[in-house]
Amino acid sequence: MKARRLAVRGAIEFTPRVHPDERGRFLSPFQEKAFTEAHGAPLFAVAQTNHSVSRRGVVRGIHYTATPPGTAKYVYCARGAAVDFVVDIRVGSPTFGRWDSVVMDQRDHRATYVPVGVGHAFVALQDDTVMSYMLSGSYVPEHELALSFLDPALALPLPSDMEPILSERDRAAVTLAVARDKGLLPEYDHCVRVEGGRRPPNAQAGADA
């Protein structure tokens, strides 16, 4: 499995080796050894898994969890294709305001690690696109927040031939600047402490954790 650090501090893209044969293909979208080598610590204890099915053009996000409690994610595309986005919304982060993207499809089977406090979104490129998540925390509605995917200051790209389909919640979401002014964004130092507290006692922090 190959690992690549993204432009957002602590976010990592993983690309597994695919084994095709006459029956189809086999791969492992998560591998603890590769994850630990790239991140500097094992994956969090999984508290919940999520599974979404989206038609082409659906935009989900930008979503994040208030920190504390904070939630980290490990995301991959189980079917279809999507562009997955990580957005650094952690006030005080060296990469605050930056974003990066990963193309997830059935050819390369990439996955993304989303650190605590980092915003996450994706755009489905095909009908019946299935996104699967492992989460470090359970879903609590009052902790879940959203920012506008269409924030012109972020300028997240959409395919030119696609009309975005957003939920009412996501259409009403505020921009990054408004959220910062209202004190709705997580603090980078809080996020690092929360993420570090979920590591086993003997785990060492990664170079950009």
The pTM (predicted TM-score) of the whole model is 0.92
- Residue 72 — φ and ψ, nearest 5°? -100, 155
* Residue in 64, 76, 133, 188 annotated catalytic: 133
Calculated CA dihedral for residues 205, 93, 75, 119, nearest 10 degrees: 150
pLDDT at 199: 55
Q: Are strands 19-21 and 24-26 parallel, antiparallel or unpaired?
A: antiparallel
With contact defined as beta carbons under 8 Å apart, do 76 and 29 qualify?
yes
How far apart are alpha carbons 40 and 43 in whole angstroms?
Answer: 10
- Tally the residues of the chain: 209
Measured between alpha carbons, how far is 60 from 77 in angstroms, rounded to an integer? 14
Helix (H, G, I), strand (E, B) or coil at 47: coil
State yes or no: is 63 an active-site residue: yes
| CA neighbours closer than 13 Å in the CB half-sphere of residue 202 | 0
Question: Which DSSP symbol is given to 129?
Answer: E
Q: Give me the catalytic one of 63, 109, 120, 190.
A: 63
Q: How far is CA 40 from CA 44, 87, 203, 206, in A?
A: 12, 21, 7, 4
pLDDT tens track for 150-193: 999 999 999 999 999 999 999 999 999 999 999 999 999 999 99
C-alpha–C-alpha distance, residues 191 and 193, integer Å: 5
Which two tokens mark 14?
Answer: 């993983």
Task: Answer whether 151's CB lies under 8 Å from 175's CB.
Answer: yes
Tokens representing residue 40 in the block: 């500097």
Q: Tell me the pLDDT tens digit for each residue of 10-61.
A: 999 999 999 989 999 899 999 999 999 999 999 999 999 999 999 999 999 9
Q: Residue 197 — very low, low, confident or very high, per pLDDT cuts 50/70/90?
A: confident
